[in-house]
Amino acid sequence: MLDDFEMVAGVEVHTELWTKTKIFCGCTTEFGGEQNTHVCPVCLGLPGVLPVLNRQVVEYAIKTGLALNSEIAEFSKFDRKNYYYPDLPKNFQTSQYDLPICIGGHVEIEVDGVKKKVGITRAHMEEDAGKLVHSGATISTSDTSFVDYNRTGVPLLEIVSEPDLRSIDETVAYLEKLVQILEYIEVSDCKMEQGSVRFDINVSLRPIGSDKLGTRTETKNLNSFSSVRRCLEYEIERQAEVLREGGKVSQETRTWDEAKGITLSLRSKEEAHDYRYFPEPDLVPMLIDREWVERVRQTLPELPDARRLRLMGLGLSDYDAGVIINSKALAEFFDAALAQFNDAKTLVNWVTGDFLGTLKAKGLPVQLSPVNPEGLAELLNLVAKGTINGKIAKSVLEEMFATGKGAAQIVQDKGLVQISDEGAIAAIVTQVIEANPQSVADFKAGKERAIGFLVGQVMKASKGKANPGLVNKLLQEQLAQL
Amino acid sequence: MKISKEQVEHVAMLARLELTEAEQEIYTEQLNSILDYAALLDKLDTQGVEPMAHALPLKNVFRDDVVQPSISQARALANAPDAEEGFFKVPKIV
Amino acid sequence: MTLTELTAHELHDRLSRKETSAVEIARAFTQRIEAVEDSVQAYNLLTGERAMAQAEAIDAKLARGESIGALAGIPMALKDNMCTEGIPTTCSSKMLQNFVPPYNATVVERLAEAGSVVLGKLNMDEFAMGSSTENSAFKQTCNPWDLARVPGGSSGGAVASVAADEAVFSLGSDTGGSIRQPAAFCGVVGLKPTYGYVSRYGLIAFASSLDQIGPITKDVTDCALVMNTIAGHDPKDSTSAPVDTPDFTKYLVNDIKGLRVGIPQEYFGSGLEPEVAAVIKAAIAKLEELGAIVDECSMPHTEYAMPTYYLIAPAECSSNLARYDGVSYGYRTEGATDIINMFKKTRSEGFGPEVKRRIMLGTYALSSGYYDAYYLKALKVRTLIKQDFDRAFAKFDVLLSPTAPTAAFKFGEKSANPLAMYMSDICTVPANLAGIPAISVPCGFANGLPVGMHLMGKAFDEGTLLRASYTFEQNTEHHKAKPKLGVS
C-alpha cells in the first residue's frame, strides 16, 4: 500500500439474475449453447418488436434489495440508455436511470477484525449485451469481430456502492460479501467464470489527510476477486506515479488486461458518452405495493451475518463460524447435520477437518459430497454413544466417502465395534507390558510420554477397536501395580 | 437557443451519421428553425406539471418466467449482411 | 358496379350469397391494380400468388358450406411498416430494402385468422416520417383525385390504394396524423384508434408513445368491421390496453340526436384554407340538422401541440432508429474498415434526408444539457394538452375540426420547407399526444379535391366516433364519389 495517498473506491457489480428466461422475451438464459441459437426477434432487436418484462426479474431485484438493506421503490420505471456498440442490437440498453428499484442500503464487512458498513447507492435492473469474439488475440488487434446474441437480454442487476472503500482488502472483502449474499438468496448462480458476476471498479487517490475526492478512473468488466486485487494494485500505483510527478489523473474508462496485469485507457473522441436517457416508451412503469415486498421478504433465507451469529451462539468460534457460512451449501450441510447431531462444536471440528479435507482432496463441491449430512450425523452419533472410537470413525468416514455406504453398515460389516470389555482389554494390556520392558522402565523413570507408546501398542493389538479411555485407565492401573 | 454548426457535427457523431459539409449547413439552418418554433413552449409555465411519457396510465405489465422457443440460427442470420459460422460478422471495433 | 368498387360488407354479402367467389374478387383486384397502378404507384410489393392461395382457401370453406367472417376473402393491403413473415417489409427505406421479417405483426396474424386476402405492401414516407409520401425511397405515390398532387402521408400508399379501388381496405399507422391526413386528401375513411387499442407488435416503430395502427376504408361500416378484427389486448405489447373490445358494428346507428359536438376554435387558425373551412362549416351545419348540439369551445394549449410533437416524436425516433446499423439486418455500406465508420456510412447512405433530420433533432433534444429544456418540457406540455381534452370531454361527446388545413397539395410544394410540411398535421397531432381516438370522414370537396371532417373522441370511445361518422355518412353522398383515373 501507499504511504502518501489514500485510495477511495466504489464498485458497480453486474450480476446476471437466475431466471429461466431473458428479461424481455421468452428465450432461455442458459449459458453456452451454439452461437445465436438462444435468440428471437425481440432480443435480436428486429424492427417492430416490443419488450415485455419478466416478473421474476422484479422479484429477484426486490429480494436483493431487501438483503442489502435497501429501500424498495414504490414507483420505478425503465429508461433507455443510448449508445452504439455492436453487441447491443438496438443500440440502446433498456435500463433504469432516475427511478431504480432499490435505493440505498449497506453491506457489513470485516477486515483485520475491524467491522465497517459499506454503503449501497442503488441497484437497478437492465438487460445484458451480447458477446463479441475477435479474430485476433485482442479487440484492438482484430480486423474482424463476431457477434453472438445469446446473452443479449439476460437480466442483470447492477448494484452500485458508495465510494466507501479505502483499501484493496476492503474492496475485495466487500465484493466477497456481496457475492456471498447473492448466492445465499439464490438470485444469481454467481458463476464468475461464466461472467455471471462482473465488477466495474471506480478508484481515485487523495493525499492522506485530505477529504477532497481525487479524479477517478473506471476499470470495467473484471470477473474475479483476484483480478480486482491485481487491477487495484496496478491502478493505484499508476495513479500515484502520475500524481507524484505533479500530473493529473484523467477521468476515463479503462480496461483490464489480465494477461499483462495492466489497465489500459479506452479513451477516444468517438466514445465521448452522452447516453441520452429517456423513459422507455415500450414498457409501462411499476407500482410496487408493500404487500408484494412483504411477500418477497418471506422468501428471504437466513443471511450470512445472522447465520454466523447463530452459530457462534452454539459455541462455535468466530473463525469456525466464518468457515461454515462462507458457502451457503456448507452452511446448509452443517445445519442439516446439526439437526441430527446436536453437539455443534464436535460437529464443526469434523466438518472443517476430515469432511472438508476429504472433499478438497477429491476436488468435490459440498453439493456433490457422497456423504450427506444425515450420514455424517449417524457417524458422529456412533462415536458419541461409544459404539466406535474417534480414530475408527475417521477410517469409517473414509470408507463412507469411498463406497457411499452408511456408517453403521460399515461398522457392522467390518466388525469395528469398540471393545469396551475390561477383561479383554486388561489381557491385551498385560501382553503389551510384558512385550515392552524398555517403555515400562522409561515410564517408571518418569518419562510420562512413554505411556503414549504403550497406548498405541494396545490400540494396535486391538486393531484400533479398544475403547481408548479404558485402555488408558487399565494401563495406568497395571503400571502402578508393577 | 441557437444550435451551431459544431453542435450539429457533435449531434451527428452521437447519432452515428456522417454529414457532408452541405448537409451540415442545411441541417444547422433547418434545426434552428424547428427549434425556434419549439421555443414557443418556453412561454408556458410547467412548474409542478407531471411529464407524460405514456399515452395510457398503465402500470405493472409483466410476463411469467416461462421459456418460449427461440428461432433457429439460420433464421436469426437470414437477414445478416455478413455472417460466418453462425456469428454476425463486423469490421474492426477499435 | 364493378367488384373493386364495393365495400367489404357489400363483398361479404355477395360472397355469402355465392354471387361471386373470393378468387373472382381477388382477380378483379389484380386486374384493377394492373390497370391503374402505373399512375397511382401505391404498392411497394404485390403478393399476388399468396393472395390467390388465400382466396382459394376461402372459396374452399364456402364450398364446404362453412360460414365465413366479415373480412374473409376480402382483398386488402398493408402499409409497408407492418412485419410480414417471409415477405419483405421495407418502411420505404433503402435501409430495409431487403429485410424479410421472420415473424408477423399481431395485426397481420389477426387478419390471417379472419381470412383476409393480402394483396401487398404499400408505399409510405420513409419510416412513416412525412405528410406527403414524397419521402419514400422507392416511388412517388399519386393522389388518385389529381395525379399531380400528393396523396398525403405518411400512409400515402395505404390511402391511395383504397381510394383508387386497388384494395377494399388497408391498414395504416398514425403517429401524428399519418392515417387521417391522407384519408382526408384522398376522400376515404381513416381511423386512428385509442392508443393501446390495437397492438403495435410488429409495427416498425417511429415514435413508440404515439404510433397506432388503424383502418383505412371506403365507408364507416367497413371501419367498424376492421376494428372488430384488429383491436384487442395483446400480451406481446406492454402498452396494449387490457380491455375488452366491443362489437364495433353495434355503434353503426343512424342517430345523433343530442350528441354534443365541440368546435375547438384553435383548430380553425390562420393556415386554414377558406375553401376547406367552408366545407367543414357545411358539415357542421349538417350535423346540427341531424340533431347534434354544436357549440364552440377553446383548447388553449393547442398551439403548443406541434412543437411538443416535434420534440417527442424525433426523440423517440432517434432511439428507435438507432438499431439500423448494418450489423445484423438491413443495409450495410460497402468496404468499411472499422465499426464506427460502418455505422456512420451505413446510416448516412441508408436513411433519407427527412429521417436524418428527425434523428438529428431528436438526438439533440435528448442530449446532455438540453433534455430538460426540450424533451422534459415537451412531456410536461403533453400533460397540459391532455388536460385540455379532459376538460373539453367533460362538456362534449366529440370534438370536430378539419382533418387538415388544406386539401392535397402539389408534389414539391412543401418539400423544401420542413416546417411548412409539418403544419399539414396541425389538426391531427393533438389526438396522438393525448392518446385519444380520432377519425377522418369524407365531407365534401374544395376545388375538386376531397376534404375530411375530423372527429376526436374520448379514450376507448370509438363507438361514439363511429356513430357520429355513420350518421353523417348515411345522410350525405360524399363517400360515394370516386376519382376518375382515366381508365375504365
DSSP labels, B19-83 = --HHHHHHHHHHHHHHHHHHGGGGGS--TTPPP---SS-----EE-------B-HHHHHTT-SSE
**Residue B18 C-alpha, separation from nearest chain C C-alpha, in angstroms:** 5
Q: How many residue pairs from chains A and C have C-beta atoms closer than 8 A? A: 103
Q: State chain A's maximal CA–CA distance in angstroms.
A: 100
Model pLDDT for residues B66-85, shown as the tens digit of each residue: 999 999 999 999 999 999 99
Nearest to B63 among A54, A86, A274 (CB): A54
A271: pLDDT strictly greater than 60: no
Determine whether the interchain pair B73/A52 forms a contact, defined as Cβ–Cβ distance below 8 Å: no
Lowest mean pLDDT, pick from A229-238, A260-269, A312-321, C432-441:
A260-269
**CA-CA distance, C128 to C313, in Å (whole number)?**
11
Could you tell me if A333 and A373 are in contact, meaning their C-beta atoms sit under 8 angstroms apart?
yes
Share of residues in chain A with pLDDT > 90 (%): 73
Task: Quote the pLDDT of residue C425.
Answer: 92
Question: In CATH, what number is assigned to the domain containing residue B31?
Answer: 1.10.20.60
What does the domain layout of chain A look like in residue ranges?
5-295, 302-413, 422-480
Buried residues in B54-72 as b, exposed as e (16+ CB within 10 A): bbbebeebbbebeeeebbe
Model pLDDT for residues C89-140, shown as the tens digit of each residue: 999 999 999 999 999 999 999 999 999 999 999 999 999 999 999 999 999 9
Q: Is C306 left (phi over 0), alpha (psi -120 to 50) or beta?
A: alpha
**Residue B72 C-alpha, separation from nearest chain A C-alpha, in angstroms:** 6
Which other chains touch chain C, taking contact as 3+ CB pairs less than 8 Å apart? A, B
Element (H, E) at A360: helix A356-362
In the block, which residue shows the cell 430494402? C97
Res. A140 pLDDT band, cuts 50 70 90:
confident
Is it true that the peptide bond before C440 is cis, omega within 30 degrees of 0? Answer: no
Which of A60, A101, A140, A144 best probes binding to B when mutated, by most B CB atoms within 10 angstroms?
A144
Count of domains observed in chain C: 1
**Residue B77 C-alpha, separation from nearest chain C C-alpha, in angstroms:** 7
**CA-CA distance, C192 to C440, in Å (whole number)?**
9
Task: Quote the pLDDT of residue A387.
Answer: 86
In a domain, C44, yes or no: yes
Residue A281 contacts C, CB cutoff 8 Å = yes
**CA-CA distance, C343 to C347, in Å (whole number)?**
6
Determine whether the interchain pair A20/B65 forms a contact, defined as Cβ–Cβ distance below 8 Å: yes
Nearest to B34 among C303, C310, C328 (CB): C310
Model pLDDT for residues A417-475, shown as the tens digit of each residue: 888 888 888 889 999 999 998 888 888 888 878 888 888 888 888 888 888 888 888 88
CA-based nearest residue to C407, from C448, C455, C454: C448
* CATH of region A422-480, choose from 1.10.10.410, 2.40.30.170, 2.60.120.10, 3.40.120.10: 1.10.10.410
DSSP states of C198-264: B--TTBPPSSTTT-EEEEEESSHHHHHHHHHHHBS--TT-TTS---PPP-GGGG--S--TT-EEEEE
Which of A25, A39, A84 best probes binding to C when mutated, by most C CB atoms within 10 angstroms?
A84
Model pLDDT for residues A88-123, shown as the tens digit of each residue: 999 999 999 999 999 999 999 999 989 999 999 999
- With contacts defined as CB-CB under 8 Å, which chain A residues touch B64? 54-56
Residue A272 contacts C, CB cutoff 8 Å = no
DSSP states of C148-178: TB---SSSHHHHHHHHTTS-SEEEEEESSST
Could you tell me if C407 and C167 are in contact, meaning their C-beta atoms sit under 8 angstroms apart?
no
Region A354-377: mean pLDDT is 93
Task: Quote the pLDDT of residue C488.
Answer: 42
In a domain, C361, yes or no: no
**Residue B68 C-alpha, separation from nearest chain C C-alpha, in angstroms:** 13
Determine whether the interchain pair C327/A44 forms a contact, defined as Cβ–Cβ distance below 8 Å: no
Mean pLDDT of chain A: 93
Nearest to A45 among C81, C96, C323 (CB): C323
Task: Quote the pLDDT of residue A141.
Answer: 82
Could you tell me if C174 and C404 are in contact, meaning their C-beta atoms sit under 8 angstroms apart?
no
- With contacts defined as CB-CB under 8 Å, which chain C residues touch A147? 327-328
- With contacts defined as CB-CB under 8 Å, which chain B residues touch A44? 76
**CA-CA distance, C366 to C315, in Å (whole number)?**
6
Q: CA nearest C382 in B: which residue?
A: B52
CA gyration radius, chain C: 21
CA-based nearest residue to A405, from A362, A368, A375, A366: A375
Nearest to B49 among C196, C308, C380 (CB): C380
DSSP states of C316-355: HHHHHGGG-SSSSSS---SS-SBHHHHHHHHHHHHS-HHH
Interface of A with C in 137-156 (CB under 8 A): 145, 147, 149
Which of A282, A283, A284, A286 best probes binding to C when mutated, by most C CB atoms within 10 angstroms?
A282
Q: CA nearest B79 in C: which residue?
A: C329
Determine whether the interchain pair A36/B94 forms a contact, defined as Cβ–Cβ distance below 8 Å: no
Annotated catalytic residue within C93, C178, C440, C469: C178
In a domain, B53, yes or no: no
Residue C306 contacts B, CB cutoff 8 Å = yes
Q: CA nearest A18 in B: which residue?
A: B65
Q: Domain range for residue C136? A: 3-262+394-480
Annotated catalytic residue within C21, C79, C136, C440: C79
Question: In CATH, what number is assigned to the domain containing residue C92?
Answer: 3.90.1300.10
Task: Quote the pLDDT of residue A1.
Answer: 62
Catalytic residue at C469?
Answer: no
Q: Domain range for residue B26? A: 5-43
Q: CA nearest C419 in B: which residue?
A: B34
In a domain, C348, yes or no: no
**Chain B residues within 8 A (CB-CB) of chain A?**
13-14, 16, 51, 53-54, 56, 58-73, 76-77, 84-94
In a domain, C340, yes or no: no
Q: How many residue pairs from chains B and C have C-beta atoms closer than 8 A? A: 168
Determine whether the interchain pair B34/C98 forms a contact, defined as Cβ–Cβ distance below 8 Å: no
Model pLDDT for residues B43-56, shown as the tens digit of each residue: 999 999 999 999 99
DSSP states of A329-358: HHHHHHHHHHTT---HHHHHHHIIIIIHHH
Nearest to A21 among B14, B67, B94 (CB): B67
**CA-CA distance, A136 to A235, in Å (whole number)?**
26
Model pLDDT for residues A52-67, shown as the tens digit of each residue: 999 999 999 999 999 9
**CA-CA distance, A107 to A178, in Å (whole number)?**
7
Task: Quote the pLDDT of residue C329.
Answer: 98
**CA-CA distance, C423 to A78, in Å (whole number)?**
33
User: Residue C484: which residues within 8 A CB-CB, separation 6 or more?
Assistant: none
- With contacts defined as CB-CB under 8 Å, which chain A residues touch C105? 48
Determine whether the interchain pair C103/A46 forms a contact, defined as Cβ–Cβ distance below 8 Å: yes
In a domain, B68, yes or no: no
The values of phi and psi at residue C144, to 5°, are -60, -20
Determine whether the interchain pair C327/A48 forms a contact, defined as Cβ–Cβ distance below 8 Å: no
- C212-217/C189-192 β-pairing: antiparallel
Annotated catalytic residue within C92, C93, C136, C154: C154
- A53-54/B62-63 β-pairing: parallel
Long-range contacts of A316-321 (CB under 8 A, 24+ apart): A316/A344, A316/A345, A316/A348, A320/A348, A320/A352
Region A156-183: mean pLDDT is 97
Count of domains observed in chain B: 1
Determine whether the interchain pair C366/A53 forms a contact, defined as Cβ–Cβ distance below 8 Å: no
Nearest to A52 among C91, C236, C339 (CB): C236
Nearest to A92 among C82, C322, C371 (CB): C322
pLDDT tens, chain C, 488 aa long: 699 999 999 999 999 999 999 999 999 999 999 999 999 999 999 999 999 999 999 999 999 999 999 999 999 999 999 999 999 999 999 999 999 999 999 999 999 999 999 999 999 999 999 999 999 999 999 999 999 999 999 999 999 999 999 999 999 999 999 999 999 999 999 999 999 999 999 999 999 999 999 999 999 999 999 999 999 999 999 999 999 999 999 999 999 999 999 999 999 988 899 999 999 999 999 999 999 999 999 999 999 999 999 999 999 999 999 999 999 999 999 989 999 999 999 999 999 999 999 999 999 999 988 999 999 999 999 999 999 999 999 999 999 999 999 999 999 999 888 888 888 899 999 999 999 999 999 999 999 999 999 999 999 999 999 999 999 999 999 999 999 986 54
Residue C203 contacts A, CB cutoff 8 Å = yes
Determine whether the interchain pair B79/C99 forms a contact, defined as Cβ–Cβ distance below 8 Å: yes
**CA-CA distance, A157 to A15, in Å (whole number)?**
5
Residue B8 contacts C, CB cutoff 8 Å = yes
- With contacts defined as CB-CB under 8 Å, which chain C residues touch A92? 319, 322
Give the type of residue at A286: M
**CA-CA distance, C48 to C37, in Å (whole number)?**
14
In a domain, B14, yes or no: yes
Residue C434 contacts B, CB cutoff 8 Å = yes
A270: pLDDT strictly greater than 50: no
Catalytic residue at C93?
Answer: no
Catalytic residue at C79?
Answer: yes
| The three cell numbers locating residue C332 | 450495410
**CA-CA distance, A128 to A81, in Å (whole number)?**
12
How many CB atoms are located within 10 Å of the residue C321 CB? Answer: 30
Region A248-257: mean pLDDT is 91
**DSSP code of residue C290:** T
Res. B2 pLDDT band, cuts 50 70 90:
confident
In a domain, B34, yes or no: yes
**Given strand C189-192, what is the order of strands in its sheet?**
C43-46, C117-122, C75-79, C169-174, C212-217, C189-192, C438-446, C449-457, C398-402, C260-264, C293-297
Q: Between vectors from CA C23 to CA C21 and to CA C26, what angle results, nearest 5°?
A: 115
**DSSP code of residue C270:** T
In a domain, C301, yes or no: no
Q: Between residues A478 and C35, which one has the greater pLDDT?
A: C35
**DSSP code of residue A136:** S
Determine whether the interchain pair B90/A145 forms a contact, defined as Cβ–Cβ distance below 8 Å: yes
